Amino acid sequence: MKKLVIAEKEFSSRLFLGTGKFSSNEVMSDAIKSSKTQMVTVAMKRLDLMNKQNDMLQHITKPGIQLLPNTSGVRNAKEAVFAAQMAREAFGTNWLKLEIHPDPKYLLPDPVETLKATETLAKLGFVVLPYIQADPVLCKRLEEVGAATVMPLGAPIGTNKGLKTKDLLEIIIKQSKVPVVIDAGIGAPSHAAEALEMGADAVLVNTAIAVAGNPVAMAEAFRLAVESGRMAFEAQLAVQFNVAQASSPLTSFLM
Amino acid sequence: MTIKLNDCYYEVEEGTSLAVFIQNIGLKPDGIAVAVNFEVVPKNKWAETFLSDRMELMLIHAVSGG
């Protein structure tokens, strides 16, 4: 299968994994392994010195895995730029999942602030992967100001509802010159397969794997679905029809 | 003199560098970042960044997140 290329870096896995909500670092680490992901997100928080330092980073810093720090918790472009600089210093990478969602109920991304921040961060040399609404116009604007990918949502974060924005995602995929990563809302391997079959370049999954009954097995299920979906896309799906198209001969048997 | 780090106050001696302070509170530089007044202080400047009275530091580290 064709490799995914983002900012001149090649990925053989098209499944990006979020690290939130796992029951333990060990389960998270095993899920990373079974997913065969090469891109793993990490968030940042002010250190609480009363509590011991969390060692989650050592569970995700592995050869062949690109760390993708996110800017969760910021409310505007200015804060996002600061968070990006902190992330670069802490984790030694200029890759960034830009997410600006000031509204705590629906966690929907702010398109205006995201566009502003993307432009600034791209100029500062960051590889910016912005999390955004499934808005085809915004996606083109982000591409123009230097986004490395666009990451439109299928449904709000953590809802597991799948590709509710499918019609818009199709337009985004058709128009985009940068990779399209479907982020948020993917709740089942079938959703991920659907995204890849449509021509999405990758998916980012977190909740659906982390809170599954068996996260390690679910990570593998997602891996297979993503590979299957991509393989189907490259093999070119058969065309849909509104009336039956016979697949067996209808003559020369009884008559 | 007193400095503030995240939400905690610390008494430090005059002339303490950021590098020494981080070491004294038992932290390693890997996986953390420090800012003073929302300006990131790169790790290679920690040794030459000296704390001053009422300085406010922000220190972040990695946590799980999607």
| Residues contacting residue B29 through CB under 8 Å, at least 6 positions apart | B22, B43, B46
- Order of strands, sheet of A127-132, starting from the edge strand that comes earlier in the sequence: A95-98, A127-132, A151-152
Q: B33 pairs with which residues across the strands?
A: B60
CATH of B2-61, one of 3.30.1490.390, 3.40.50.300, 3.40.50.720, 3.10.20.30: 3.10.20.30
Q: What is the pLDDT of residue A130?
A: 98
ipTM: 0.92
At B18, the amino acid letter reads L
State whether B62 and A49 contact (CB < 8 Å).
no
| Active-site residue (options: A97, A116, A140, A161) | A97
Q: Is residue B61 less than 8 Å (CB to CB) from chain A?
A: yes
Strand pairing category for A9-11 and A4-6: antiparallel
Dig out the tokens for B40 from the structure. 């990131």
Distance of CA A228 to the CA centre of its chain: 17
Domain limits of chain B? 2-61
**Which has the closest alpha carbon to A103: A91, A116, A90, A113?**
A113
User: By the 8 A CB rule, do A160 and A148 touch?
Assistant: no
Length of chain B equals 66
CB contact under 8 A, B65 and A53: no
Q: Is residue A254 part of a domain?
A: no
Shortest distance, CA B16 to any CA of chain A (angstroms): 19
Say if the Cβ atoms of B66 and A207 lie within 8 Å. yes
Is A255 domain-assigned? no
Residue A144 domain flag: yes
In a domain? residue A129? yes
> How many other CB atoms are there within 10 angstroms of residue A192's CB atom?
33
Provide the pLDDT for residue A123.
98
Q: With respect to residue A102, please indicate whether it lies within any of the assigned structural domains.
A: yes
Residue A103 counted as domain residue: yes
Catalytic residue flag (residue A97): yes
Q: Is B23 on the interface with A (CB under 8 A)?
A: no
pLDDT of residue A58: 84
Q: Is B1 a residue whose pLDDT tops 70?
A: yes
All residues of chain B having their beta carbon less than 8 Å from the beta carbon of residue A22 are 64
Give the chain B residue whose CA is nearest to the CA of A48.
B6
**Tens digit of pLDDT per residue, chain A (255 long)?**
899 999 999 999 999 999 999 999 999 999 999 999 999 999 999 988 777 656 788 888 888 999 999 999 999 999 999 999 999 999 999 999 999 998 888 999 999 999 999 999 999 999 999 999 999 999 999 999 999 999 999 999 989 999 999 999 999 999 999 999 999 999 999 999 999 999 999 999 999 999 999 999 999 999 999 999 999 999 999 999 999 988 888 777 766
Q: What is the mean pLDDT of chain B?
A: 93
From CA B58, how far away is CA B53, in angstroms rounded?
A: 15
Structural domain count of chain A: 1
Contact at CB, B63 and A41, closer than 8 angstroms: no
Strands A4-6 and A39-46: unpaired
- Chain B positions touching A53 (Cβ under 8 A) are 27, 61
| CATH number of domain containing A49 | 3.20.20.70
pLDDT of residue A50: 74
pLDDT in the model for residue A52: 60
Query: Is A241 part of a structural domain of the chain?
Result: no
Range of the domain at A69: 4-235
Out of A49, A72, A89, the one facing B65 most closely (by C-beta) is A72
